[in-house]
Each structure stands twice: as structure tokens, then as C-alpha cells.
A and B are shown apart, each in its own frame.
Chain A
């Protein structure tokens, strides 16, 4: 049955990357518990607009937890406290009447703030550009069933490939490291026979890009794994480490 709650929001407002930001307080009353968190923000924004104040800028798109566009830190937890959930799928029934909810953007040197809760995550694309692919030009492929992939390997690859690139791992990491993101892509491709020919080059280049983009280092805190909306495991980071050691010491890639 539909229930409504009243909440107090403290939302990070910042007009641009260079200006100072601050937490501002808003009251959201009669919020249906069937709403998603972003729908609640929509309601707040409608009220702000009608009272001639600037609505809160936040990124979002598919609102079904797959595009990876949305993301904010809710009460200190990326995408909120519900496990395996993006903020667009976080529903207000997870909160209680009278709660105060603090909403902040992803914070990392590599993710400069654009406005309010929206950040620039193009660094993640740059990591992929450095090697997060299999070089297979269109038209060059052989028949699909000429390559066999054991089911358990395909499943593991899929576990890693499920990454939505939202950046929650970076936001959650005490060191703002992108190891889970990079590890997931490197694992996905290193597991598959198609990905092996350029595995050494891939891990070396992607890691170098990651380091240059200003992400932190991994110190095995496991916060990324705990907060990942797709519950991607740090086993993938270990696999990346392995791939890196192999590439660094036993391949000819420099």
C-alpha cells in the first residue's frame, strides 16, 4: 500500500568545477515510498522551479539501473545503502519518515564536478580507449561457433562484463582508484580466447592510462566490491594484477 514520508535533504550545490560548493537543505514532504530516489529529486526540482530557484542538476538516463549514468553518494554510500542497486532503483521505502538524507556527488580528482551532483567521468572512457577492446575490424570475423568458450569461463567473463561504468567503485574507494572498473574490463577480455592475443598490451596500456588520469592506487579495501551496483568482485582486480605481472615480466610489451 502506498505510504508517504517527510524527509530533509542536504544536497551538494556547486555551480561549476572551479567554484566552491556547499550543502543546501530542502524539505521534501509527502514523498510516496513507491518513488525512486530520482523521482523524489524530480519532485523537489519541480518545487524549486516553481519557486524560481534553480533545480538540482543530476545525471540520469535509463532509470532502470543499466546505463550507468546516474550516481550520487547518499548518506555516505555511493548509490545509497541498498546492496546491488543504482540510485535510480533505490526506492524511498528504504527510508523512514523524518530522515535527513545527505546527497553528494562522486568525489575524485579524476571526476571533476560539472554542476551540483553531475560529474565528468570521461576518464573512464579514456581508460577504455587505451585498450579496453578486442581489435576486430568489422567483417573480419569467422563463424561464431568456431570459437568455443567453456561455459564457466563465459559466465565469469559475463560477471565482469556486467560493469555499467557508473564510477561508484571510484566514489567508494578510499583512494579514488578505478581498479575495479579497469579490472572488470581487463578480466572480461582476458578470460576469453578472443581477447588473449592482445592481453599483455591491453593491461599495460589501460593501467598506464588509469595512473595518468589521476586515480588513486588500490589498497585492497574492498569498498568498491561492497558498493558496486552490479556486485562485481575484486577477483577481477586480482586477475588484472596477474595479467599485469605476466605482461610486465614475461611479455615483450613495454
Chain B
């Protein structure tokens, strides 16, 4: 298996891991968002969705463990890359300007990533690893969003997520070598569309819920 560690340990190998894990999070985000949209259907619809989700049992567990492993890989690889990249230029430029390649998303990847990590931990402790025996998920959500500071934090986090995926989406395709002159322009547009969907789709939920309350 020496070849495998050599392959994924190489610079492109690491990118490959970022791309594959990143793409799976994109898939997760889409599913998560689709599920969350049931909030607009009201309290019962949302609770029913949560119930339904738990009935699939082991599959959900596998998916959760998978996501956790991927998250660990994504974070550790990201940190490793950040460290190596930082070290690749020990003496920084006195003046450095962009030639027009970088975007807000690409420029801030490590930082938005770190922020999202904090958010995910908080988010999980708030909504997932919380005692749900006495209450429903909808109540937890609506009570959490009753706190205007948390609403603000959540909205900011969703904006940050949007920025992160605006680069991550197309970048994953590029890293996987899926850059074709016919399709890349579409992927670039989809990248922005997806970022907006994530930002607005998730970001509007707490506002909606706090108005409901």
C-alpha cells in the first residue's frame, strides 16, 4: 500500500482528498437544505422529516460516520496544506497584488474553513447532540433562534459557507481534472449559483423561524 500513501500524500493527492471530501459535503449540503426546506411547511412537516430521517437508522449512522471521517480528512488535510503553503514562501512580499485570479472565496479558504469548523461543532452540539427526549427538533430550533445573537451568528456562518463553497465547488472539479473548455464555464456559473443557494437557503431559515415565533 506504499503506492497509496505516496499517491494521496503527494501535493495533487492531498488536493484530491480535499476535492472528494469537499464534493461530498456539497452533496450533504444539498440534502440538508432540501430537508430543512420542510420548515416552510410548518412545525409538523419539519418534525415529520426528522422522524422519517431517523427511521432509516443504520444507513443514517453510516452516512454520519462517513461524514465525520470525511470532515476529519478535510480539516486535517486543509491544515496540512495551509502549513506547507505558508512555509513555501518564508520571506513575504513587501507589496503583493492580485493579477485577477483570486476571488474572495479562494483568498479566504483556510479562514472560512476554520470558521465553519467552529460553526459545525456549535451547530451539532445545539441541534444534534442535544437531549431530544422531552422536546421536538422544531422546538429546539425555534428556541435557539429566539436568541438574536445566535440568529446573527447563524446568518454570518451561512454567508461564510457561501463564500467557502463559491471557491470549493468549481475548485473540486479542477482538482479532479474535470476542466473542459465546454463545461468549465457552466461549472463556474453553478459554483456561484450554489453559493447563493446555500447562503440564502440556509441563511433565511432563522429569519423565517424567528418571525414565526
Q: Do chains A and B touch in the complex (CB under 8 A)?
A: yes
Residue ranges of A at the interface with B (Cβ–Cβ < 8 Å): 10, 12, 23, 73, 75-78, 81, 102, 104, 107-110, 172, 174-177, 179, 207-208, 210-211, 214-227, 234-235, 237-245, 248-249, 254
Q: Is the interface of A mostly helix, strand, loop or mixed?
A: mixed
Q: Contact at B179–A223, with CB atoms within 8 Å?
A: no
A-B residue pairs, 8 tightest by C-beta: A242-B177, A222-B101, A216-B88, A238-B179, A226-B99, A76-B97, A248-B7, A175-B85
> Known contacts A239-B177, A241-B12; can you find 15 more A-B pairs with CB under 8 A?
A12-B94, A73-B93, A76-B96, A78-B99, A104-B93, A104-B95, A107-B92, A110-B88, A216-B87, A217-B88, A220-B174, A222-B106, A234-B174, A237-B179, A244-B7
- Please indicate the chain A residues that have their CB under 8 angstroms from the CB of B16 in the complex: 241, 245
**Inter-subunit contact A177/B177 (CB<8 Å):** no
B52 within 8 A of A: no
The distance in angstroms between the C-alpha atoms of A186 and B21, with both chains bound, is 26
Interface positions of B from 136 to 183, Cβ below 8 Å from A: 167, 170-171, 174-179, 181
B175 proximity list for chain A (CB < 8 A):
218, 220, 241
> Is B192 interfacial (CB 8 A cutoff)?
no
- A-B pair count, CB < 8 Å, reads 150
Q: Could you give 30 example pairs across A and B, Cβ below 8 Å? A: A109-B87, A109-B89, A172-B99, A174-B107, A175-B85, A176-B85, A207-B11, A215-B88, A216-B89, A217-B88, A218-B15, A219-B85, A219-B109, A220-B167, A220-B170, A221-B106, A223-B99, A223-B101, A223-B102, A224-B101, A225-B101, A226-B98, A226-B101, A238-B174, A241-B177, A242-B178, A244-B10, A245-B16, A245-B177, A254-B6
User: A76 to B95, Cβ gap below 8 A?
Assistant: yes
Q: Which of B87, B102, B174, B176 contacts A174 (CB 8 A)?
A: B102
Give the interface size class of chain B: 35 or more
Q: Which residues of B contact A172 (CB under 8 A)?
A: 99, 101
Q: In the complex, which residues of chain A have a beta carbon less than 8 angstroms from the beta carbon of B3?
A: 248, 254
Question: With the chains together, A222 CA to B179 CA distance in Å?
Answer: 13
Enumerate chain B residues within 8 angstroms of A108, measured Cβ to Cβ.
Answer: 88-89
Determine how close the nearest CB of chain A comes to the CB of B166; give it in whole angstroms. Answer: 12
A75 touches B97 (CB 8 A): yes
Which residues in B have their C-beta under 8 angstroms from that of A23?
94
Q: Name the residue of chain B whose CB is nearest to the CB of A216.
A: B88
Q: Which residues of A contact B97 (CB under 8 A)?
A: 75-77, 81
**Alpha-carbon gap, A32 to B80, bound state (A):** 49
Query: Which of B8, B96, B106 gathers most chain A CB within 10 Å?
Result: B96
